[in-house]
Amino acid sequence: MATTDRRKLPSRSRDEGQDSGRERISRAAYDLFSREGVRSVGVDAVIARAGTAKMTLYRNFPSKDDLIVEFLRRREQLWTREWLQTESRRRGETPRDQLLAIFDVFAEWFSRPDFEGCSFLTTMIEVNDRDHPVHQAAVGHLANIRDYIKELAAEIGIHDTDSFARKWHILMKGSIMAAHEGDTAAAARAREIGELLLAQHGC
């Protein structure tokens, strides 16, 4: 899934070509939730966007919370795995380069007119009850991003991969919020700090 042509991130995975009622609902929810948030979009809007009956939605997703959890699962597949991880590995020859390439990918993402931010962060904030299954799902998907960073850190030879991944993730999340604020150089600034962090670890 290329980013160099500045296309919108797709809502359909390479492995999700079937156009079932569940798929249409999931895709419609992804399009709406990623742009407008999970709280402001009602199920009626999802049904209208999907062109399905309300019964079809509730047969596949008994509650809106179930639909949001599915949205987050789809977001991880499309955004985290098929886009961010794939692009960082494609652009970087070494694990160090792949870590820094995350911010190169972000720089292009931030400059796009359809930049929508991190759905895991916004969902976690919108559903701020830590015991809520939606909140826990968002936190879990954020942790999976750190797992990718820990994997690269281990390949570099960093010993405390958890601590490093949390620091790197702070740079990622901070740059996303700075981009929301209007800082067009947020990714480049985060990359510079990332260089310092890697140097601190002898990389």
User: Distance of alpha carbon 167 from its chain centroid, rounded?
Assistant: 18
pLDDT in tens, 97-149: 999 999 999 999 999 999 999 999 999 999 999 999 999 999 999 999 999 99
Rounded distance between C-alpha atoms, residue 176 and residue 84, angstroms: 13
Quick one: tokens of 174?
């901070």
Which pLDDT score, from 0 to 100, does residue 93 have? 95
Q: HSE (CB half, 13 Å, CA atoms) of 35? A: 13
Q: Are 138 and 120 in contact (CB under 8 A)?
A: yes
Confidence check: pLDDT of 8 > 60: no
| Least confident interval from 8-12, 33-37, 107-111, 137-141 | 8-12
In degrees to the nearest 10, what's the CA dihedral of 109, 112, 118, 123? -170
pLDDT in tens, 78-96: 999 999 999 999 999 999 9
User: Could you tell me how many helices (H) and strands (E) the chain has, helices first?
Assistant: 10, 0
pLDDT in tens, 158-183: 999 999 999 999 999 999 999 999 99
By the 10 Å C-beta count (0-12 exposed, 13-18 middle, 19+ buried), 15 is classed as exposed
pTM as predicted: 0.87
Average pLDDT, the chain: 91
Percent of the chain topping pLDDT 70:
91
Quick one: tokens of 68?
């949001």
Residue type, 153: A
